A and B are shown apart, each in its own frame.
Chain A
Amino acid sequence: MAAEVGQFALILALLLALVQSVAPLWGAHRGDSLLMALGRQASMLQAGFVVLAFGCLAYAFVTCDFSVALVAQHANTAQPTPYRFAATWGSHEGSMLLWVLILALYGAGVAVFGGTLRETLQARVLGVQGLIAASFHGFLIFTSNPFLRLDPAPFEGAELNPLLQDPGLVLHPPVLYAGYVGFSVAFSFAVAALIEGRVDAAWARWVRPWVLGAWVPLTVGITLGSAWAYYELGWGGWWFWDPVENASLMPWLLGTALLHSALVLERRGALVSWTILLAILTFSLSLVGTFLVRSGILTSVHAFAVDPKRGVYVLGIIALTTGLSLALYAWRAPAIRSGALFQPVSREGGITLNNLFLAVLCATVFVGTFSPVFIEMLNGDKISVGPPYYALVFAPLAIPLLLLVVIGPGLNWKRDDLRAVALRVRVPAMVALAALVLGLLFGGWKGVVTAGGLGLSAWLLAGALAILGRRWWAGRAYLGRSIRTTPRSLIGLTLAHAGLGLLTLGITGVTAWESDKVISMRVGDSTTFAGRTVTLTALETVQGPNYEARQARLLIKRGSGSFTLKSERRFYPSAQSQTTEAGIRVTPLGNFYISAGEESATGLVVRMWKHPLIVWIWIGGLTMGLGGAVSLSDRRLRLGALVKTPAAGPQPVAAE
């Protein structure tokens, strides 16, 4: 029953999405308030029906309704209930349903919270959202129907890929999709602005919270994904430059650029057409990511079951959305009044440079990801792009950008003077220099890269704190009041930039000082590693809900302190596959990571790693996300276009 209800709900959602795309666009064109109101109603109703459809599928999963083909393929009764629930989005069809669910919720969000928007602008935004929603509902219903029945229904279902049976699956995809799909709102705003032929500060003030609202979950989602890969794959890495990882990094890089350029547009009315282009491209890259995972154009560990027909359909959607919007851009953007002028040395100039770097970084990832496809087409050569390419190309471009991160917020709007800027960042510069010298003292010239990394993270951290420091120092006569009145957006800025510093610290630490050891051990054997004595205390077979595992317990001793780590090799009989559960001891200074391998006549292969500072990579990512969230809670953003607050914004006060 639930499956049929879900199916009907999905079809109704498609029809409503069509109403939502036609009515408000036509209404805005004719100035018909009734049609525009119809668009708002349609978007809310549409969201309601997609929620219903999603609920039906989730219900079928939780209750093990194996007469639904998708459930029978991805769930069985032995699976714990939370994972059965999460299996709802563990397949291609289910994850697509999650995709349209989030899209519909964002659309309804524009309808509900957009009351203070200019009516025609809101209607056009909703119309564009409706078009995207309709095309994806069509994709779902015609090529990937999640509600297909199976007759006769099997008594027991198959198994979800065991790698996915992890708390990571419960969290990572919904959060990541909230980011991916969230950029659809910025896209719709951009297209609406192009249709209207009008971009003003009110437009920018409206777009920025939506961009932030997508950027925060995308940041958190990527961070969660990286942490998940770290502990679940059992081989201790945190980023692999896999095509699908890149697919999430590209919209993040452009989304970050968009976040900053929208700030310039809001404050100074400059970078108008560039911001619009970024909004279009960011969402397009989200779509490209969807295409990548579902078309099988590249091989990836993440890819879903591949079907070229689906690839063609998603490509059609990209051609329609991106192609048409860029054509519209080519036609209308030159006519949009470009905003205020600014000197090269100014806050605007700094952000332009930041955008340039981010866009180029994004391009390098794009080239790295897709060059195997294009090069083969051009001359038949097959090439592969691995981590060495990114180490060579990505890092040298990222470092100047990170240097710029501290200088940017110290710049004044409109025009500034280089010497004054240098003076303003002298404290972070001294801290960074001290860290660099300390690193060189301990590491010598061989450790120059490490020292550079340490200096860079010190520069970022001190630079972030200096943002608040400068403000509070200027208002030191009334320190309490000046701290209390600090705008949240400024605290968010500090947190986000400090998060980048922590991230750099973590990457530096793990790259420079990682150590590992592989050894064959029998129960009772001891070995020393990283100044600790590691003893294999037990090796036994344990029974999980839907797997059988060989569990190794190891006692790690250092001086008087000791702790135990467990690592398992799990075998899932119904999926006929194996996973490794690593044993990890997490501390701020470093992780101790143990993973049990094959058993043979000489004993159990145990691999241990010491990952110094690695946890700061994820703390850094989450701090960036937190910064975005704090900034999003700023009063000025919440009130949107209604209030125009004078100078109380994040304008830095000169330090002198």
Chain B
Amino acid sequence: MKRLLFLAPVLLCVAVLVGFFLGLGRDPTRLPSMMIGKAVPAFSLPPVRPGDQGFTHQDLGDEPMLVNFYASWCAACRIEHPMLMKLRREGVVIHGVDWKDTPELGFKWLTDWGDPYVRTGNDQSGRTGIDMGVSAVPETFVIDKSGKVRYRHVGAITPEDWDTRIKPLMDRLRAES
């Protein structure tokens, strides 16, 4: 019995290491979403901006766009924010989901740092995020003209991500009939 107790740490350690090893293949920033190629699940989110119309799945489509999940408590979102503002100025359509956050804090976030979103809704329970397979914020989905998910980006969008991956994809989607 006593021996077993002393054996516990090494067994636990092996389990954790195996977990880490398998987790390595997981690479959170590259993981493709199971949503890819599928239509966005239906949702209807209350507004973040007081008096605004909120954000529903019917707002998607017609042209390629980004859906960005953010939260006022998220450190990396703060890093990403200037990039979103820049894209907004360049005319990219970005919708936002304020994830696991209160609308008040979300609104404060937008007034403080600028509002890059065309439509934005509050997902306080996190349900919409879970339906979309969001693992952590910030996370951004590229939606095509027919409202289907075409790409999932995990983590803050850097200028490099935009230039090498997301922008070429959006250009291609725009050319699609």
Contacts and interface: CB of A to CB of B under 8 A. Distances in A.
B100 A386 contact: yes
Contact of B76 (A280, A299, A329): A299
A233 B77 CA distance: 12
Interface in A307-331: 308, 311-312, 315, 318-319, 322-323, 326-327, 329-330
A295 B22 CA distance: 12
Contacts of B133: 382
Given A297-B26, A299-B154, A373-B19, A281 B9 contact: yes
Contact of B136 (A322, A334, A372, A387): A372
A382 B13 contact: no
A281 B12 CA distance: 12
Interface in A265-286: 273, 277, 280-281, 284
Contact of A273 (B6, B14, B112): B6
A232 to B, nearest CB: 12
A597 interface: yes
B164 interface: no
B4 to A, nearest CB: 9
A605 interface: yes
Contact of A327 (B2, B10, B71): B10
B29 interface: yes
B118 interface: no
Nearest to A311: B24
A280 B26 CA distance: 28
B113 A597 contact: yes
A513 interface: no
A330 B75 contact: no
Contacts of A383: 135
A518 interface: yes
A364 to B, nearest CB: 15
User: For chain A, which range describes its interface: under 10, 10 to 19, 20 to 34, or 35 or more residues?
Assistant: 35 or more
A517 to B, nearest CB: 10
A315 B17 contact: yes
Nearest to A382: B135
A291 interface: yes
Interface in B59-94: 71, 73-76, 78-79, 82, 85
Interface in A361-409: 370, 372-374, 376-377, 382-384, 386-387
A297 B17 contact: no
B168 to A, nearest CB: 18
B92 to A, nearest CB: 17
A605 B134 contact: no
Nearest to A229: B75
Given A233-B78, A386-B100, A518-B112, A334 B73 contact: no
Nearest to A386: B73
A241 B108 CA distance: 21
A373 B135 contact: no
Contact of B24 (A273, A308, A318, A607): A308
Contacts of A334: 2-3, 6
Contacts of B82: 577-578
A300 B75 CA distance: 9
B85 to A, nearest CB: 7
A306 interface: yes
Given A373-B23, A377-B19, A518-B108, A384 B137 contact: yes
A330 B7 contact: yes
Given A296-B28, A605-B111, A377 B23 contact: yes
Interface string B21-49: 11111111100000000000000000000
A333 interface: yes
B135 A384 contact: yes
B9 A376 contact: no
A243 to B, nearest CB: 10
Given A291-B20, A329-B6, A597 B112 contact: yes
A389 to B, nearest CB: 11
Contacts of A228: none
Contacts of A281: 9
A242 B10 CA distance: 27
Contact of A297 (B28, B71, B113, B130): B28
Contacts of A576: 159
B26 A376 contact: yes
B6 A333 contact: yes
Interface string A329-354: 11001100000000000000000000
A308 B27 contact: yes
Contacts of A643: none
A311 B21 CA distance: 9
Interface string B121-146: 00000000010011111000000000
B155 interface: yes
Contacts of A521: none
A597 B21 contact: no
A301 B79 contact: yes
A58 B141 CA distance: 42
A277 B13 CA distance: 12
Contacts of B159: 576-577
A318 B75 contact: no
A607 B112 contact: yes
B82 to A, nearest CB: 5
A338 B136 CA distance: 46
Nearest to B82: A578
A376 B135 contact: yes
Interface string A65-79: 000000000000000
Instruction: Please indicate which of the listed interface residues B74, B111, B113, B154 has the most CB atoms of chain A within 10 Å of its own CB.
Output: B113
A298 interface: yes
Contacts of A372: 28, 135-136
A240 B114 contact: no
A395 to B, nearest CB: 16
Contacts of A318: 17, 20
A598 B85 contact: yes
Given A333-B6, A382-B134, A605-B112, A301 B29 contact: no
B37 to A, nearest CB: 18
A330 B114 CA distance: 57
A638 B2 CA distance: 37
A329 B10 contact: yes
Nearest to B4: A330
Given A299-B155, A370-B16, 13 more contacts: A233-B78, A240-B75, A291-B20, A322-B17, A323-B13, A323-B17, A329-B10, A330-B3, A373-B26, A384-B136, A386-B71, A386-B73, A518-B111
Interface of B: 2-3, 6-7, 9-10, 13-14, 16-17, 19-29, 71, 73-76, 78-79, 82, 85, 100, 108, 111-114, 130, 133-137, 154-155, 159
Interface of A: 233, 235, 240, 242, 273, 277, 280-281, 284, 291, 295-301, 306, 308, 311-312, 315, 318-319, 322-323, 326-327, 329-330, 333-334, 370, 372-374, 376-377, 382-384, 386-387, 518, 576-578, 597-598, 600, 605, 607
Q: Which 7 A-B pairs have the closest CB atoms?
A: A382-B135, A326-B10, A373-B23, A384-B136, A598-B114, A330-B7, A299-B155
